[in-house]
Amino acid sequence: MANFWEQYKLRVRRNCIGEFTRPDGLNYLRNKLFATIIIYLFPLGILLLVASGILVTILNIKGLAIAYGFFGIAITIISLYGGLKVAHRKYLFLFLIYSVATILIFYMNIYGAGLTYLFGATVFALLILPTKAGVLTIFINVGICVLQAFLIHYGYTEYTLRDSYKVASWLSISANSILLSIVAVVFMPMLFSGLQDTIESQTKLKRNLLVHRDELENSLSEKETLLAEIHHRVKNNLAVISGMLQLQSYKETDEQLQKKLLGSTLRIKSMANIHEQLYQSHSFSNMAFDAGLKNLAETIFKTLESSTHIKTSFELEPIQLNINQAVPCSLIVNEVLTNSIKHAFDQREEGLVSIHLSKDQHHLHLSITDNGDGFPEDFDGTKSNSLGMELIDTLAIQLEAEYTYKNREDAKGTLFDLKFKVSDSPGSSAT
């Protein structure tokens, strides 16, 4: 039953609204109102007509019985027949109202609802048709009332309200319905005019918003393309610089200078790796630091030559980090891993470096351990003149991080432990 009702409503709406009516127009609202009226009027009207038809048949009022049959056919055609245009349905509906009003006035005079239907015809015309149709109904209403007065005067219809002045009595009573129709014609177009202005202003605003949105999307797309190009060029420029330094390190005969040039090469590659990650992620502000950290470690192990076969172990949780924290953190990782490769496995065939990355609520926790020789017993990182240790300390301050770099207590080797709060601010504006 529910499915039948939904199908019925869908069919009436399709018949009475039309498929090509613009949803934001006044005509669409008129059609939608007309469809709503028909949806509920048709079943209720049929029930009323059946009951009334049975009653007038019993009373042997053949004229009304025939009229009720005509009304039933008309309302069915208006509601369900798909071969009519929307405008034709509206005028047929208005004609149906006038037919009901005329018949009720003829048979029942002021005792029926005929005068109410005359006023209703004007209201419905103003609601579902252009204003001119509403004005036209005033003249039709006057014509019907005058025609009824003519019929009363010549005795073609019964009028039992008064014995004398029957025509004047009828005209004075029917004038109230006409007056209400005139009031409706005066005020309802004003209401629709205001509604039309509102619809037009909203349509214009919507159009402007769509244009503005398109402009913003185009501007955003251009900025994203520009940022991608910037990151790509920075990465390429850094790659060129690191490549030049690496070539220079290979040509140097001074071993100390060679190591310094190679160390600078790795630091530049660490920064280039960040820009490459941002370029590939298309976010330009945040990067998947776990993936970047693994790529960075692999790059360092490939670049630095070592006689020791160093294995790597990764335990990395997915973590997003903005560029202002990713760069210094990557540089710290570069210094720690470089130190392990250069110094931890002297005279050893194999070694292991483990990297652990996790996030506890809003804090990032990074630990790097190796199973190498460890620091000398008298080593003090705070008093070291090493550039790497100075960089770690400076970059940790920039991150507002806490760190320890010491020998492991559970086994042989070193432990680097870093912890800092992950910033919620994206991009280069983050602090």
Q: Scanning the structure block, which residue is given the tokens 């790597």?
A: 312
> Among the residues of 81-165, which ranges form H helices?
86-108, 114-128, 131-153
pLDDT band at 429 (very low <50, low <70, confident <90, very high): very low
pLDDT: which is higher, 137 or 300: 137
Q: Scanning the structure block, which residue is given the tokens 């090469």?
A: 265
Contact (CB, 8 A) for 377 and 397: no
Nearest-5° Cα angle at 188, 182 to 193:
135
Q: What does the domain layout of the chain look like in residue ranges?
A: 2-214, 304-429
Secondary structure class of 402 (helix, strand, coil): strand
pLDDT: which is higher, 406 or 166: 406
pLDDT in tens, 289-330: 888 888 888 888 887 777 788 899 999 999 988 878 888 888
CATH topology of domain 304-429: Heat Shock Protein 90 (3.30.565)
- Write the secondary structure of 403-429 as one string of H (helix), E (strand) and C (coil): EEEEECCCCCCEEEEEEEECCCCCHHH
- The pLDDT of residue 431 is above 80: no
pLDDT on residue 283: 60
Task: Give me the mean pLDDT over the 35-45 stretch.
Answer: 85
Which residues 6+ apart lie within 8 Å of 36 measured at CB? none
Nearest-5° Cα angle at 388, 236 to 351:
90
pLDDT on residue 285: 67
pLDDT on residue 280: 64
Report which secondary-structure segment, H or E, holds 387. Answer: helix 387-399
pLDDT on residue 363: 92
> How much is the pTM?
0.48
Task: Give me the mean pLDDT over the 156-168 stretch.
Answer: 75
Rounded mean pLDDT of the chain? 81
pLDDT in tens, 341-398: 888 888 788 889 999 999 988 899 999 999 988 888 777 666 666 777 888 888 899 9
Structure tokens at 277: 């990650």
Contact (CB, 8 A) for 90 and 34: yes
Beta bridge partners of 353: 312, 370
Which residues 6+ apart lie within 8 Å of 142 measured at CB? 178
pLDDT: which is higher, 255 or 279: 255
Residue 420, phi-psi category: left (phi > 0), alpha (psi -120 to 50), beta (remainder): beta
- The pLDDT of residue 234 is above 80: no
